Amino acid sequence: MQRNRMSMTQELSKQLQQYIDNTLQIRELSSPQIEEVEDPEDYRLVLLENFRRIGTLALENNRILQTVYYPLLERKELLTEEETEALKEFRKAHLNAYSMENLDLPLMWRQTKKLLADAKERGSDHDIIGMIDRFIEVCFAMLHQTERVQPVNPAGIRYRNEGLAEGEVLLSYLPKEAFAKLSEADRETVLVNARYISALFARNAEVGDDMERVNEEDLAFLRRALALADDPFYREAVPEYNWVYHTFRTLQYLSQLVHNGNERGYSEAQCKEIYDYTARLYAFWDKERSALQKYTTDAMMTFAYARAAYCAGASDAESYRRALIGLYENIDDRNYSFFNNSRITLIPMELTKLAEKEGLRPQDAGEVETYYERLITYLHRIPKKGSFSFLLSYLTILLSHYIEVPGGMDFETFCLRLTAALHPPTYVHVRSVAAFSVCLVRHLIRKDPAQLTGVLDCETAEDVKRNEQKIIDFTEHAALCHDIGKLFVTEVIMTYGRTLLDEEFELIKTHPGMGALMLEKHEDTKPYVNVALMHHKWYDNTGGYPAEHSFEGMKDKAVISVVTVADCLDASTDAVGRSYKTGKTLEDYIGELREGRGTRYAPYVVDLFEDEAVQADLTRILTEGRDENYREAYRILKSYRAPES
């Protein structure tokens, strides 16, 4: 019996390791190194071959999930000790709390929930403490990923609240009487979380939250964590605990409270207190540099001090601006470490917030444009091996506060170049959707112009014909902007190898709303808000998303309908990015359109596909046009290739 159990455990570990190996291979295949492709004609062929291979790996991964992994998580009975250990080992390859990189975070969320429930049923303090520690870690990682889509979807509040609730259980072991009963290893876990749980405070705060109260609670929590290092009881109870690191991390958390231009709104007195802690952090770092150098850099310490000083009124805006610019100019563009990833986005983010607060001076315009150009170049060159979650979070904040400068990149161009850097298949997709949309709207103007009345305030079919080129241009740019919201859920759209989980699909469904929010911020892109918001909504309002919106009162509904059909056409017929299905033929897609005519799709757009001239034009775009879009993506990626050393 014992030998049989060992054999089953070994087989489980082998299967889980196979999933990890497959996932790592999928990551590499989905983002081929541009240096390995010398001919633009080969780029799409390389991607096609890679996604065929991804499809094979995906089938294997899904088999492992369906027959091995999910049955463990769904089992009502307690897992065996061997099964639990195998899952814990599986987790180590998926989540790095230090760098916030992950392979498959949603799986870890579900797994940790199961293991925590088992630990509570067993009733062992040691098991409960260990699993709550891991649960808080994964809650923060999920929260960090989901907070980007607030306020479109407040899903992150769930992770925040569940993490804090379990954190209260863990902290119930901190009082001295309870603490003394724990093993030394469990005492260390409790001490770590005495500071780390603060990461969940005020993240995705609910509407109506008293931020002044929450901010004070956060400060009080960290004050207490810092005081633990000066308490002889805890010092003696855990003699091997790294108190230097504990003090450093707690002070660092305190210094970070005023991030993003003090967006949480700490009071003047609180900012001064945070500045005092940051000054203490800087001195502590200088004293303990040899022990802490793997956890930060001189530049990050200088940055934290300059930010806290400005927020506390200890330095003026110009001094802060000069400090940020000096730190930015010294970034090594070939260093793709966690700290450099943070600096390349974090410093421009703070400079943007500073410009919002103090005003953008004429002499700053060139600097701002340089930040954006440099950031895009860096993003094109960074290896796409992990999720780089922190970089994406800073990037989306920067995106939300983008400043258009005279003569510089407009918001639409910036977003398209970001898309090309982060996920080239999506860049090709939006260009293809734009081409399909232009084709369809041109034929619609030719065949049934009355359907476009209302667009650009055209009142009659004759108005539509007179404004043909303006309507075509409007449609093209609206289509190019329709998926801007996907930048906020990049990690989810890069999930290949398994079917999306419900919580991931909920995140995907936020991209229309997030895109609309971003486009609304800029005069040039405001006209495209409805197209971004409604391109996944059914024509008759009976399906699709966002569920809470309808077409009522939207004069540009015809253009939305065109882009919707074009979007589905490209998604259905392009094999790149479709790791489970091959691309469909145009004839197959026309059959789907006919089935959805009048419900999912506008009848007048579906009817265009019966025209041989329309089919001929679309076929040309599906072949020559799409190939040219992949060549264009290749040229962009190649242009950003790092120069030879």
Q: What is the pLDDT of residues 480-508, one digit of tens each?
A: 999 999 999 988 888 887 888 998 999 99
pLDDT exceeds cutoff 60 at 3? no
Nearest to 239 by CA among 187, 295, 290: 187
pTM of the entire predicted model: 0.92
Q: What is the pLDDT of residues 265-312, one digit of tens each?
A: 999 999 999 999 999 999 999 999 999 998 999 999 999 999 999 999
Task: Kindly indicate the confidence band of residue 362, based on its pLDDT and cuts at 50, 70 and 90.
Answer: confident
CA distance 475 to 559: 6
C-alpha neighbours within 13 Å on the C-beta side of residue 251: 24
CA distance 297 to 335: 13
CA distance 416 to 484: 8
CA distance 403 to 401: 6
Per-residue confidence (pLDDT) for residue 37, from 0 to 100: 83
What mean pLDDT value characterizes the chain? 90
Furthest CA-CA distance within the chain: 86
Q: What is the pLDDT of residues 13-65, one digit of tens each?
A: 999 999 999 988 888 888 777 777 888 888 888 888 888 899 899 999 999 99
